[in-house]
Structure 1
């Protein structure tokens, strides 16, 4: 009966060990539980083997294994209780060291026992044991009970922290009662029965049952607080157990058949057959386990096919480049494959990542900025694919856990690129009890494909957004330019009106001034001295230049208003040029310059607006006078060809800078060196000259090199 109880406890502990481990193999709490459960399995198996063993050498080996499991059990149980049901960031290192020292003392003591006591005298049930063995077993019982009590104490304290998570559930009460019951039974059958009653049979059966009961309570808590569904883990556990049973049964049947047929040659042949069959069965273990797992999943597990999901996902990724549409499709596909009630995507986009989409299945609530900041903080702190609500329970994470609860999230998946976090996948609660590990593995496998699609859609959306922004900016800029042009046009019209009015008003007094000066020079007011005549001549010439400037302004005004027209008459250009040279000669002489006219061919009489051509000639010669260096000769040429007449003015003046030559004939344009040489210039002379020449179907002539001089002129066609 005792052996049957031990066997049952051992099998149950082994099944729990693998069921919890397969649930989440990467979780340290699951691994700790696996170690404790396997230790209980070893413990019960060792006691059974010790009872069955008839060989002293085997007994020594079995007893050593028993001692190892005994000295390590308290430390493993305390570590499990401190990390129940979720890993604890605070570990009692000092307590671990103290328990480890006591474990070392027990190990040393066990060596003394094995070297001084014959195990032939050892009775596991405590009837004929030497005193030293009784002392060792009694001390071990106290040590183990202390470990159980500390583990239970830690477990209850940790469970109390998460009481709110289990509000309204009988699980909290069940776990608490089970832990208390395990401690009470352990105290009675592991401590009192051994130390005071010397009833080792009670310790080996009911005492081990109490430890198993404690592990059952821990398993319930771990399963309850685990993020993953236990069904897959249980199916895998049963498939492995079934494969193991099948292999052991086959091995023993094969061995019995061989032994029965060859009873005299068992020693040699059975060894060879045993080695061969063992090798075959070891190789067959994995295929058998996989086959059983397949059958169990097909019968009990209705999870989706990965092929169907991948096909659907590839279709979604290929057909949707629009970011919002893609996220909406993904939310439906992902929620379907992992059986989540809802899945939402929060994705940032834009050049500054200042815009976002929040879309999902059945749930697209507002996400406050402070919650987004909290999610960013979690993603930076937890370098994991899945950040679950369960992992936030407890230490310094109450605000984050409440945020998860308020939004109905069971986990978040940060959407990471190589350089930044572009958003989050927000997963709601599962439709069943837990998420299946296999389904989340599918999500983990396709994560990179999802990220590539999202990044591509973000890039496409950013380009569209930039184009839309640029288009809007261009529209706004065009609108502003139109408005500015209207203002400039009105200002230009006002200026032209002012220039026209001012020019007309100035012409009247200038005409009077010129008339009176001319009368004085002619002697109508009496005799004029030589010095007075010089001054009056200069005043007359300046007045005449002022008249020409006013005429230029009037012509500019006429150009703007469309009233600039040619008033053609018949005349000779050579006579016009000579008259202008004569009028400007005094100005040239005063600056130490000479004007030299050269005519090639007889200048014909033709039709032109000679008043306007006179202004052009005067402007070009006047510019040469003002911008030439002293003691130079300004060469003026007039050339007549078969179909055109060419006028040129060549000087050795300051020239025109190369980078300013393109705008020289623009309205009101003046080069930098011209402004320094003659600050009072208007910048309209050359503009009008080009306009007059072009209206005569001709063109201007211009060559210049800064510091070396310039050639200005024009040609116009003539009809003989």
Structure 2
């Protein structure tokens, strides 16, 4: 009876401790997830201990006992789930696969179902005042529950150990120390929890399950210690006092309760004291002990004002240093702002900082009202150059007597620096800080040494990043200069190329004009011979003269294309538009090339509109486009094929289309079809003498008429080329004569 009541009191005290720890975290206004998981762990640990103790103390209702057992098994499942969540975000936030969280939640749901289901881990409970309350377990369900528990504990432990390895690789000593503390707390709590609350119940021993929950206090305290030392929330002093109050309350409650029960047994022997009276005693004891808190708070405040009036918060100062590191990248501002924080915290007479830059030169930064002499500075430079590798990271100048080297002790004392702090990154020394005595005369203590050590770690890393930034900036400036020089040279070269291109255009224009005159004469004389002006000719002669005439025609068109390209380049390409009957023009061009088509064994047909209409175009240039389309169709189509030429009018457009049954255009080359000097692969094989400017000029001409090109691929054989240009019915046309869509 007494043992059960004492167990109940201890469990409530432990729960109160856990709830107080959780309350401290939940009242803080921080956005990190780790404090939330810590608070949930503490709350669950408290309820778990209360549930275990309630089950052991229940005497009447088996139904309530079953509910209590189900509850504390559910709470235990939540504890390991929250432990895994904590390991995922402390001390580093981990990136995990999207399916991980649903899988973890699914495992928790399975454990909860196994804990509460009638067919789950619990078969029944037995309430016995003499031998103690016990539960009968379903081995299958209990095995599933134990497997869940073990797997989640292994996951959490593995994550913590991996984080520990990361802190070693990153040389984060303080984080590594805190993680070691967390791992010790996890191992101790898990070992004793598994022993008393998993293994022994499986063997039928429920009398010792009360011994597992107290070890959760060690785990929660160790984790809280690690997180607060990491600086996630600045509650170290408040939490220390809160823990002291909670432990004091628990101890006083236990002492008071034991005293009450002892007095009762001594003076009220023979009277029955049931659990209701016992609970009343416990509540009264807790209420009485609460009166101690206001008195203790008063003396805490009084002593703090007396002894800690000028003290600083190292965690707050480190947080400010971290803020500077995240805001500043320029070396001068970074060092000066950090030294401002150090001076506000320690109030030294002076501070000297020496940093080795990218060129191996030492840069000096001074701060504070005190001035160091030239001799002091020379000696500090000598220490930086020759003695730092023989010293620890933080040296207290007032405690150098502990060093074995007397000459070094004397030299450090002559430097007149109260503290010497090395700036190290991965064992790479990038500088040092020399700090003078405090203006108040008080010596630096262990707290100051720890603060300077952690501050120097962060400052050294930030300085290294700043030096790299300077290096990158210098490289960027050099690169900009080189790019500027290269750009100047490129512009000069481009001007030379433009001059050469202009000379080329002038040559092409001049050569084309000079060639056109003799070619016109050649065409005229060949035509006269073919017509018999120089005497009668036979069929063979006529055929040869026809070939010569046709070649001269192609040469004339080629020269015309080059002239057009030249005019485009020189800006002399002008559209001289006049009203033109497109149908008449099309028939003229088709009739001109019909003989050429028949010579190739092809049929050239034309389909024109019924209505008459005049369109504003440049007759010469558009005619050249049509002739180019038909000429290409003739030369790239096989003998015996039909070439269809059509013209149709819509309400606002004239559409010209030339459809052939030729070699087509490869799909991968169709995007470049209207580029200057481009010819498809199959076209170059079919007609090697082409120039690749015909379609380019055609597009320029049609675009200048505010029209659009038409190209349709007819599979691997055949294609359609054409264009559409604006065209409107004239007012003199009757509605019946106007074409319809």
TM-score of the two chains, using structure 2 as the length reference: 0.44
TM-score of the two chains, using structure 1 as the length reference: 0.45
Quick one: higher RCO (CA 8 Å, sep 6+), 1 or 2? 1
